[in-house]
Structure 1
Amino acid sequence: MDSPDELSTGERIRALRESRGLTRPQLAQLCGRGPEWLKKIETGERELRSHTLLMQLAAALQVSDLSVITGSADGPAQPVPLGRIAHPGMPEVWAAVMNRSLAPSLRPTAPTDPALLQGRADQSWKLWHKSGYNRSEVGALLPDLIRDGEAAVRALDGDQRRAALVALSDIYRLTGQATAYIAPAELAWVVADRALSAAQDADQPAAIAAAAWNMGNILRETAYPEEALRVVNEAADLIRPHLDGAPDDWRGIYGALQLHAAVTAAREGREGDAWRYWDKGDQVAKSLPAAYVHASTVFGRANVDFHAVSVATDLQKSAKALGLADDIDPDVMPSAERRARLWVEVARGHLQRGDRTAALHVMQKAHKIGAETVRYTPSARQAVADLWRSAPRAMREETATLAAAVGVPAS
């Protein structure tokens, strides 16, 4: 599209939409939003800050480079993934999920002991949080885990089947985490729904709440924030009556639901709601042992503090975000994936303030801790692209090296 440089993002979106013969309701529907939302974007009444929504708009408009929409033609290309597979491990995971067998005898040698299955799921979650290359390493384990979990559920009955269903729900939740941003939308929805369905079949409130936390992630990242809040709030209401005398992990997942809601509200600019949800999560953390960490969501004292930085950053309160980050000891967080994400949030805060030197330093730190967390997370990739685009001459070489490592072409 040959557009004058002075066109705003909203004006570019409108011009592209009209050139493709799309009505405002049609394009909004393709992004899972309403026509009033798109009208505010096109007229400049609302700023489009979500990288996820920008990518959805670009894909719906069949634009292969995001800079056509943003107008940032100088700097690194920002390719829009119009295809399905974005990670070498995805075909095997796709096959395991989408080619689910209905025959109980397909894998007759698959272990059917639910305790062993749960142990394998738990170890895989530990690997997810420990490895700097977690998508590749966990992705290699998932196909067999998925097939063995499905086989166990088909082969067992009674209490053993319910235990296998809880394990299978955990496996599908992990699949959702490991394939976030790299899976086609249909796989993300299938995985989230199977995790929730397995937990509901098991009739275990903590498993249902954990699966709802996962479903909320999918809803939020596919631009359904209100639905995400509804799901996590319903899950919190479901598990709350069971918390007195319940295991710590039940309170842990309840707290994780509050933090999820806090970030969702913050991304929608709802500051009061965001901090209200965060306060609820904070209170849950205070009720748990100081060293407690939930195995899959890593909810605990450190993660509550990390989420305060995320909430402030998403609310564009960079000074507060950086001040909160200054008081955090990242090493108390046992999850490398979560530590890398913290440094990405700090980098975003520095970029909001125009401090590119500090942003580059912490993005390099994030990449060193969790290379695949940075490479496959849109907000991290956007931070690297913004850095490369605005880097002064003295920082160009370092920034270009980071962009190449993350897979953001610097040209």
Structure 2
Amino acid sequence: MDSVELLPVGRRVAYWRGRRKLSQQMFADRLGKSKSWVDKVERGVRSLDRLSTLQEIARVLRIDTAALLGGNTAPADATHRAEGVDRIRAALSRYEIPLGVPAGLRPASPVERMLREVGHAWTTFQYARYQQMIDMAPELLINAQRTYARAPVTGRTPLVEAYRITAALLVKLGDAELAWLATDRAMLAATGDRELVTAAAVQLGQVLRMSGRTREAKSVMLAAAYRIAPPEIECGTPAELSLCGTLLIQAALAAAQHGNEPAATDLIDEAASMAERVGDGRDHHHTGFGPTAVALARTAAAVESGDARAAIAWHEKATRRPGWRWLPPEHRAAHLLDVARAYLHADDATTAARVLVEAERTAPAEIRDRPVARELLAEITRDPRAPTTVTQLAVSLGVG
């Protein structure tokens, strides 16, 4: 059987046909095909590029479709993710700072070292190395808490950033409740620092939208955005404009989710004017904000509004921008998920599958570790027009 897994799909069909003691003619009759068609498939002259055809072949051969596509591939390690989230939950449940516990434990990391560690964590996240982030997050949180306990002034920034990156990760993993706890900790730790509070509000907007609290999300995001907004755009620093613009985008997406498309458009237009002053290729406060990010947000808002054609049009414009390739893999792959959903809504399962496979190539963990991505993959795979490329991806991830 191990050698069979190495064979091309057509040769596997021939192998299983032989196992079932079917001649090519008998097999063709049961499929409603010609003997010539079966012969070409088995010799690899004709490709099997439709899921519905593969499923029919598997039915006749009395095997699982995965056996034709390489059933030896291992499913995603959900157990590792669950255990990792439990460790993050335990780290967030510690109250060493108010209880004064750190004094008797191992020495706290210097602030400079903690800043480097949270910087490394953000880079890991932006490259969509979520499994690595799951392993890193618990110790990162504990170390940041201890550093803050020893240096409450200079240690506040790495603590807020540790909570922010943890919340961003938990949003990806689909744990809204735990993401909310991490975000709440970030907001509380940032209290008193206008810029840090605004940065933490970015994750708050993500959590609120993820929880379906779109009205609250829009209200809170606008309050946070206008708190950091300069009196005149020309007076704002790139960091301020990046935070303000990112929060306006969050508010716009919440408005789109709530069905208020005109408000979403106005808010994104407002963010666009700020983005032009910031430019592409920047990443102030790990927002990735710039003209290309705003263009991608127009796609996301159109998807939320149910306008698939507009979403696809915005996507095509955005990805022609030079700034597209400057965005981190996580950002690009997350956008491609939105685009795949748009194509699916436009009744184009073939292109939806192609875009989803592109997202997986860009950042594999964006598909492997995100529940929303796996649900989208399963939905595309159920379409009989879906190509075998996406079916093979689904089989390898244990999605179906």
Structure 2 alignment gaps of length 5 or more = 1-64, 66-77
Q: Does 1:335 align with 2:328?
A: yes
Structure 1 residue 406, shift from structure 2 partner: 4.1
- In the alignment, what sits opposite 1:51? none
Shift of the 386–186 alpha-carbon distance from structure 1 to 2, 3 Å rule, reads: closer
Deviations 1:112-133 (A, max 9, x none): x3233222212211121124xx
Normalised by the length of structure 2, the TM-score is 0.73
Partner residue in 1 for 2:390: 399
Kept in 2, the 8 Å contact 1:128–1:135? The answer is yes
1:390 alignment partner, one of 383, 387, 400:
383
Separation of aligned partners in 1, 2:397 and 2:253: 25
**Residue of structure 2 in register with 1:213 after alignment:** 202
Secondary structure of the structure 1 residue equivalent to 2:171: coil
Q: Which residue matches 1:136?
A: 131
Task: Name the structure 1 match of 2:30.
Answer: none
How far 1:163 sits from its partner (Å)?
2.8
Q: Could you say what secondary structure the match of 1:162 adopts?
A: coil
Distance 1:286 1:189, change over 3 A: same
SS at match of 1:299: coil
Establish whether residue 92 from structure 1 lines up as the match of residue 87 from structure 2: yes
Shift of 1:363: 0.5
Q: Distance in 2 between matches of 1:384 and 1:322?
A: 18
Q: 2:170, 2:176 within 8 Å by CA — same for their partners in 1?
A: no
User: Tell me, what secondary structure is at the counterpart of 1:179?
Assistant: helix
CA pair 247-145 structure 1, distance change in 2 beyond 3 A:
farther
**Residue identity matched to 2:375:** Q
Q: Is the 8 A contact 1:86 1:183 kept in 2?
A: no
The aligned residue for residue 116 of structure 2 is 119
Q: 1:196 aligns with which of 183, 187, 192?
A: 187
Normalising by structure 1, we get a TM-score of 0.71
Are positions 1:347 and 2:336 aligned together? no
Map Cα deviations across residues 386-411 of structure 1 (whole Å, 9 max, x no partner).
2111133x73x433322234442x2x
Looking at structure 1, the residues matched to 398 and 294 of structure 2 have their Cα atoms a distance apart, in angstroms, of 30
The structure carrying a bigger helix percent of its residues is 2
* Structure-2 change in CA distance of 1:249 and 1:406 (3 Å): farther
Q: Which residue of 2 aligns with 1:178?
A: 169
Query: Does the 8 Å CA contact 1:209/1:235 hold for their aligned counterparts?
Result: yes
Residue of structure 2 in register with 1:23 after alignment: none
Do the aligned residues in 2 keep the contact of 1:261 with 1:274 (CA within 8 Å)? yes
SS in 1 for 2:347: coil
Alpha-carbon separation, structure 1, partners of 2:89 and 2:179: 10
373, 384, 399: which one aligns with 2:366:
373
Identical-pair percentage: 24
Matched, 1:258 2:256: no
Check conservation: 1:130, 1:334, Cα contact below 8 A: no
**Which digits, 9 at most, give the CA deviation of each residue in 1:63-100, with x for residues without a partner?**
xxxxxxxxxxxx9xxxxxxx999534212212211134
The structure-2 alpha-carbon separation of the partners of 1:264 and 1:171, relative to structure 1 and needing over 3 Å to count, comes to same
TM-aligned CA deviation for residue 136 of structure 1: 0.9
C-alpha contact 2:81 2:131 (8 A) present in aligned 1: no
Aligned residue type for 1:91: D
Q: State the distance in 2 between where 1:278 and 1:263 align.
A: 9
Shift of 1:377: 3.2
Partner residue, 2:308: 318
Q: Could you list the per-position Cα deviations for residues 116-173 of structure 1 after superposition, in whole angstroms to 9, with x for gaps in the alignment?
A: 3222212211121124xx21112222122111111111112xxxx2331122111101
Q: Which secondary structure state, in structure 1, belongs to the residue aligned with residue 196 of structure 2?
A: helix
Displacement after TM superposition at 1:109 (Å): 1.9
Tell me the residue number matched to 1:8. none
Segment of structure 1 superposing worse, 236-245 or 142-151: 236-245
- CA 1:208–1:296 in structure 2 vs 1: closer, same or farther (change >3 Å)? same
Contact 2:243 2:285 in 1 (8 A): no
Contact 2:343 2:349 in 1 (8 A): yes
Partner of 1:52: none
Pick closer, same or farther for the CA change 1:148–1:246 going to 2, 3 Å: farther
Taking the TM superposition and a 5 Å limit, the aligned residue runs for 1:13-24 are none
Give the whole-Å Cα distance in 1 for the aligned partners of 2:398 and 2:362.
16
Mapped partners of 2:259, 2:328: distance in 1: 28
CA pair 187-275 structure 1, distance change in 2 beyond 3 A: same
> Is the Cα–Cα contact under 8 Å of residues 125 and 295 in structure 1 kept in the other structure?
no
Distance 2:199 2:79 in 1: 27
Matched residue of 2:154: which SS? helix
Structure 2 equivalent of residue 364 of structure 1: 357
**Alpha-carbon deviation of 1:290?**
4.2
Q: How many residue pairs were aligned? A: 318
Q: Which residue of 1 aligns with 2:155?
A: 164
C-alpha change, 1:149 and 1:286, in structure 2 (3 Å) is same
Distance 1:185 1:336, change over 3 A: closer
* Cα offset, 1:370, TM superposition: 1.6
Mark the runs of 5 or more structure 1 residues left unpaired by the alignment.
Answer: 1-74, 76-82
